[in-house]
């Protein structure tokens, strides 16, 4: 059974998607820790409801980013996490954290990368007049939303009236993609060949 660590900053709907996937046996694993960067994160209530240990790691409590990331590494290694999922985690992952989990850390982003990376991807897509956007699950590397792409789902947004509507339309597809990819990790493996990612299913 795969041991999953989740990092989140907000309401935690993608974290909930993982919990739902485990409950419905799409994911053969368990969430062993939730790490949030704010005591106000809505994801905390979801962890409490599911009986999952959570840890608040705030930037203000550390001398620097490296020290903060070191604390997160300590938590995840202490819980023996096999896979680390950034589920709406709004901080850049530093080399201290990435170095420990490279190839085992994934992120979900609300656009079809490489289009509209970084913050406010839905606002970027709406402002650009894009008719199709979507979501991307990718490996985390040292850049901003630049890691090898694991899964993408296109979503038509041409009739959306504002960026909020774009975000709400894409969100259910994020949940589905998250469950699919984490479920695949729990049953097989993803092989990275240059920029391309290939899935080798398990039993």
Active site (catalytic) residues:
109
What residues form DSSP beta bridges with 154?
A: 134
- Output b/e per residue, 181-196; b: 16+ Cβ within 10 A: bbbbbbbeebeeeeee
Which residues of 87-147 form beta strands (DSSP E)? 105-109, 132-139
d(CA 112, CA 121): 9
Q: Hey, which residues does 55 pair with through a beta bridge?
A: 35
């Amino acid at each position: 059974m795969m041991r999953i660590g989740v990092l989140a900053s907000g309401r935690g709907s993608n974290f909930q998607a993982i919990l739902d996937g485990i409950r419905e046996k799409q994911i053969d694993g368990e969430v062993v820790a939730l790490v949030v960067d704010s005591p106000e994160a809505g994801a905390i209530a979801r962890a409490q409801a599911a009986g999952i240990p959570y840890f608040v790691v705030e930037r203000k409590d550390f001398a620097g980013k490296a020290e903060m990331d070191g604390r997160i590494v300590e938590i995840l290694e202490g819980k023996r996490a096999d896979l680390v999922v950034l589920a709406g985690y709004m901080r850049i992952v530093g080399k201290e954290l990435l170095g420990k989990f490279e190839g085992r850390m994934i992120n979900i982003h609300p656009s079809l990368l490489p289009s509209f990376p970084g913050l406010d991807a839905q606002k970027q897509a709406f402002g650009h007049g894009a008719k199709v956007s979507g979501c991307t699950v990718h490996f985390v590397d040292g850049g901003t939303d630049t890691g090898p792409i694991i899964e993408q789902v296109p979503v038509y947004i041409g009739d959306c009236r504002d960026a909020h509507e774009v975000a709400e339309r894409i969100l259910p597809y994020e949940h589905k993609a998250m469950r699919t990819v984490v479920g695949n990790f729990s049953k097989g493996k993803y092989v990275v060949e240059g920029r391309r990612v290939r899935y080798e299913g398990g039993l």
